[in-house]
Amino acid sequence: SQTIHQWPATLVQPVGSPLSLECTVEGTSNPNLYWYRQAAGRGLQLLFYSVGIGQISSEVPQNLSASRPQDRQFILSSKKLLLSDSGFYLCAWSPGTGGNEQFFGPGTRLTVL
Amino acid sequence: AQKVTQAQTEISVVEKEDVTLDCVYETRDTTYYLFWYKQPPSGELVFLIRRNSFDEQNEISGRYSWNFQKSTSSFNFTITASQVVDSAVYFCALSEAPHGGTSYGKLTFGQGTILTVHP
């Protein structure tokens, strides 16, 4: 069966510091991968998606970037965090063919102080 | 543009009551998918169901049932005999069909409905 991992689970970072959140998927090949942000416990905002290694599409221009160095690895980064980057970050995957249902990881709760 | 509206911000019921969560969607696509997700206090979104636009049959899974009506662009979710463990935020979502030679279809989420089931 497929599983998706995210780490760290929680993170407290000062403004201006860098960020790296990692997501890995097991048990599937060539998945579509996604990063979402959820602010204030409501509403999910799609940040990035990837349909293959090195292929990244950004949905919202912002202070963040994403990379996919391996088939089942998706990384969310920032060079300098802003207060507004605080939130709950969710990684998700979907099968490479059909369906479109997305399966979510446990999330990372980021607080920028 | 796609849009999903969950008009009920919060619902509070007592255990064993039935509860229906409403979802209304807008899309110009003729082929699309509808979803429901559950987000318990732990935060992880749990996939509950997917429906494609050509399948209007209602579905039942245990205490959960879904009513898809294309005529009213609605995809409502009913929990029968609710339990405290059903307390969560529930999201309805809409996805366009894959296009452009890829399998990617953007998922548009509603704002969610907070369901609280009291003992």
C-beta atoms of A88 and B112 within 8 A: no
Residue type, B71: S
Q: Lowest mean pLDDT: which of A45-59, B54-68, B101-115?
A: B101-115
pLDDT band at B2, cuts 50/70/90?
confident
Question: Pick from A55, A51, A53, A77: which is nearest to A66 by CA?
Answer: A77
Mean pLDDT of all residues in A64-87: 95
What is the phi/psi pair of residue A8, to 5°? -75, 170
Measure the CA–CA gap between A17 and A37, rounded to whole angstroms. Answer: 19
Nearest residue in chain A measured CA to CA from B31: A99
pLDDT band at A24, cuts 50/70/90?
very high
User: Is the CB of residue B107 less than 8 Å away from at least one CB of chain A?
Assistant: yes
**pLDDT value at residue B57:** 83
**pLDDT value at residue B63:** 95
Pairing of strands B113-118, B10-14: parallel
* Radius of gyration, alpha carbons of chain A: 13
Is the pLDDT reported for residue A22 higher than 70? yes
pLDDT tens per residue across span A34-46: 999 998 757 898 8
A15-24, A53-62, B54-63: which has the highest mean pLDDT? A15-24
Residue type, A55: Q
Measure the CA–CA gap between B55 and B68, rounded to whole angstroms. Answer: 8
pLDDT band at B107, cuts 50/70/90?
confident
pLDDT tens per residue across span B17-31: 999 999 999 998 888
Question: Pick from B78, B107, B105, B109: which is nearest to B92 by CA?
Answer: B109
Chain A with chain B: Cβ pairs closer than 8 A? 62
Size of chain B, expressed as the number of residues it contains: 119
**pLDDT value at residue A58:** 87
C-beta atoms of B107 and A105 within 8 A: no
Mean pLDDT of all residues in A31-59: 88
Pairing of strands B74-79, B64-69: antiparallel
Q: What is the mean pLDDT of chain B?
A: 91
Measure the CA–CA gap between B14 and B36, rounded to whole angstroms. Answer: 22
Query: Among partner residues B47, B50, B103, which is closest to A96 by beta-carbon distance?
Result: B103
pLDDT tens per residue across span B89-102: 999 999 876 655 55
